Amino acid sequence: MKDFETERFLAKRTIPSMTKILKNYFYELGKSKGFEPWTTKRGKEVSYEYLVDHCWAVKDQKGIWLEMALESELSERNVEGILYDFEKLTDVKAFLKIGIFHPQIKRIEEVASKCAELIRRHRIKIVGEQYLLIFLTERQRNRRWYLKVSGYLFDHMGKIKMKMLEKEFDW
């Protein structure tokens, strides 16, 4: 029963609110940096999704390219579902590829390891591309909920360049 209550809480509070918060954050950040953010319809502004959940495009007289591609899956917690969405990032051409996921806490290392393996196995690579994996998990302590953010930065060969410091926020 406790697991069901936890999942019900997460489904109501974390997933919908975090998806909207993340989409808005990356949209505004991209605009502030001079990129053209592409995502699904956002408020009154009309935009569109291209290949992944969110990306920053650059348009000039030479053409269009993607500076950043982002795939987030906060409703799928099992490893296979997360890998399915992460694999989209290995296929798209962009200099920075961000995956934001909501795995079970005990599966974080497994997800990171399997994502690194997908990067290593992919035959088409852009030298200098980077993959930022961000994990959002939560825990309850003393009847309060905390959102924990952790992650890894991988190079184009699937090697860890940096492990993010873990940070917890009152949720």
Predicted local distance difference test score (pLDDT) of residue 14? 53
Integer Cα distance of 9 and 140 in angstroms? 11
Identity of the residue numbered 63: G
Domain count, the chain: 1
Distance CA(63)–CA(146), nearest Å, equals 44
Please report the pLDDT score of residue 41 as a whole number. 54
Distance in angstroms (rounded) separating the CA atoms of residues 104 and 58: 35
Crossing angle of helices 108-121 and 79-91, in 10° steps, is 30
**What is the C-alpha separation between 122 and 151, in angstroms, rounded?**
21
**What is the residue-level pLDDT of the chain in tens, covering all 171 positions?**
344 344 444 445 555 577 778 888 898 999 999 998 988 655 555 566 778 989 999 988 888 889 999 999 888 888 999 999 999 999 999 999 999 999 988 899 999 999 999 999 999 999 999 999 999 988 888 888 888 899 999 999 999 999 998 888 877
Q: Check residue 2 and give its pLDDT.
A: 45
- In three-state secondary structure terms, 120 is helix
Q: Tell me how far apart the alpha carbons of residues 111 and 80 are, in angstroms, rounded to a whole number.
A: 9
Q: The domain containing residue 11 runs over which residues?
A: 2-170
